[in-house]
């Protein structure tokens, strides 16, 4: 989780993006559960497991990219429109910690 507490001065994640991310993460959770079930079998093939883990990683990356795009579009652009260069740098540095 972020070490930055939300408050009234911060912009929140767009509700449509938040709902999409939640839906994607629920799907990913189901996919991870499927991988766990694979690993409970004695005859599980390593390559099949690796393929599924790669698919989960890809889905997580796409979800992260979607949230990042929203952040850049709304939060960083808003700071730019205000002419707040320090806020832009702070927002970008915060993003880079997690990418």
% of the chain at pLDDT higher than 70: 89
The closest alpha carbon to 36, from 24, 22, 46, 49, belongs to 49
**pLDDT at residue 6 greater than cutoff 60:** no
Q: Helices (DSSP H) in the chain: which residue ranges? A: 15-39, 46-71, 77-82, 85-97
The pTM is what? 0.77
Q: Token digits for 17?
A: 């993006």
**Nearby residues of 83 by Cβ (< 8 Å), 6 or more positions away:** none
Looking at domain 15-97, what is its CATH homologous superfamily? Metal-sensitive repressor, helix protomer (1.20.58.1000)
Q: Is there a contact between 38 and 32 (Cβ–Cβ < 8 Å)?
A: no
Q: Is 45 exposed, middle or buried (0-12, 13-18, 19+ CB in 10 A)?
A: exposed
Cα angle 12, 17, 18; round to 5 = 60
The whole-number pLDDT of residue 73 equals 86
């Amino acid at each position: 989780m972020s070490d930055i507490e939300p408050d009234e001065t911060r912009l929140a994640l767009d509700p449509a993006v938040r709902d999409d991310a939640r839906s994607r993460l629920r799907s990913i959770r189901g996919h991870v559960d499927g991988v766990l079930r694979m690993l409970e079998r004695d005859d599980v093939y390593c390559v099949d497991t690796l393929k599924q883990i790669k698919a989960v990683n890809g889905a997580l990356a796409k979800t992260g990219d979607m949230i990042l795009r929203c952040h850049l579009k709304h939060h960083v652009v808003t700071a730019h429109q205000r002419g707040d260069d320090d806020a832009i740098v702070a927002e970008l540095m915060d993003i880079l910690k997690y990418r």
